[in-house]
Amino acid sequence: MIRALGLLTGAALWAGGALAECRLALVLALDVSASVDGADYRLQRDGLAAALDQDVIRTAILRGAPGHVALYIFEWSGRYQQDVMLDWTVLDSDAAIDRAVAAVAGHKRIYKEFPTAIGYALGYAAGRLADGPRCDRKVIDISGDGANNEGFLPESAYEYFPFAGVTVNGLVVQGREPEVLDFYLRHVPRGPGSFVEYADGFEDFENAMSRKLFREINGMVVGDMGDARGSAWPPG
């Protein structure tokens, strides 16, 4: 039986869950299972911080479509191993983005030896969206370097957790498991315009995350459940 994951108390932060003029609530879920060694972890963490700090991403957040972007970031591995990297933060200024970048860059990993429970990570992410601000779009962005090897599959998470109106995209880090891209393409994307981005190893994580954030923040639709590599990137 699938056990419901505990919910945080973030709803109170939003005065009933509402946030005026929010165009996007975005949850980033980063894999820190046992297959991600220390060097890979640093490339992933620092790559995300660098992607958020890029001028083109800042411009998309602050001067793109009307409305704010709200961001939540967590690391995940086994069934009950989820660690908050950045609690819900409204990215409404360069200073707010600076704080988010600093939180990511300064985060210390606490889980290193657990398996890959993608379904549980998605269930947790759905709970965070339910707790967070009400926005025009709700997107979960889950990244990983391996297929699910503990617990239920994404399809079960989509059935039993609150995924109404939620789009789920994936970011695959290729390298150790050749089948991981196929797994993500078959099981992870959910919702109109959902897609899977991929990185050629953790060295490519910053580039892949930048492409993914640019597309998600701008609400770009290139193809249903397609491969996003090269889609309008770099912008110009």
CATH code where residue 40 lies:
3.40.50.410
* Cα angle for residues 167, 50, 221 (degrees, 5° grid): 30
Number of H helices, E strands in the chain: 7, 7
In-domain check, residue 144: yes
pLDDT at 71 over 80: yes
What are the tens digits of pLDDT across the range 151-165? Answer: 899 999 999 999 999
In-domain check, residue 187: yes
Residue 160 lies in domain: 22-227
In-domain check, residue 14: no
Structural contact between residues 135 and 27, judged by C-beta atoms closer than 8 angstroms: no
pLDDT at 11 over 70: no
Q: What local confidence, expressed as pLDDT, does residue 65 receive?
A: 85
- Overall number of domains in the chain: 1
In-domain check, residue 233: no
Between 45 and 3, the higher pLDDT residue: 45
Q: Which amino acid is at 43?
A: L
Average pLDDT estimate for 23-29: 98
In-domain check, residue 15: no
In-domain check, residue 6: no
